[in-house]
Amino acid sequence: MTAQYGGRRMVPATSVEHEGRECVSVLTYNVMRQMHATPDYKPYCDPAVLTATKRKEQIFQELLSYNADVLCLQEVDDFTLWWVPRLNAAGYDSVYHQRTGHFDDGLVIAFRRMYFQIFHTLRLDLNDLCNDPSVTANFAAKLQQDNVALVVALQPWEQCRFPSALCV
């Protein structure tokens, strides 16, 4: 099955060894924080579609159209007020990790609550890796960009169709 939204489509990974088995669908999407959704950053876009509310609503509808079991979202801003209520209403629980420094966006891993529960979460601030003495100055300069990583271990509910835990 290939889900579509507008001119884009989600193409599932296929493998002969997984035929006939239940597979978890995972979607990754950079929602682009609002600071970058301006005519200066995106001169080829109609300014009307770059307004925060319209753009987020369109992105959210696209995300839902793919019917994914797990969503991995980048550059998410306004998480608590905008994203949480909508994700909850759509049947997803979620975990957020905000970037460090002066940034107001971060990462989200959302998952269908009817299938999974969290059994472990790991939040990493990549700037902290620069404190390791084995990291070279050149590599440290590339790391210190206030980026973060988020890892969530999900356990399927006992009566769930998925046979094992999942690390996202």
For the chain, how many structural domains are there in total? 1
pLDDT digits (tens, 9 = 90+) for 33-50: 877 777 777 778 777 777
pLDDT digits (tens, 9 = 90+) for 64-120: 999 999 999 999 999 999 999 999 999 999 999 999 988 899 999 999 999 999 999
Q: Which residue pairs from 159-163 have beta carbons closer than 8 angstroms and sit at least 24 positions apart in sequence?
A: 160/114, 160/115, 160/116, 161/22, 161/115, 162/22, 162/24, 162/115, 162/116, 163/22
Q: What whole-number distance in Å separates Cα of residue 92 and Cα of residue 116?
A: 10
Q: What CATH number does the domain containing 88 carry?
A: 3.60.10.10
pTM: 0.86
User: What's the domain range around 87?
Assistant: 3-167
Radius of gyration of the chain (CA): 18
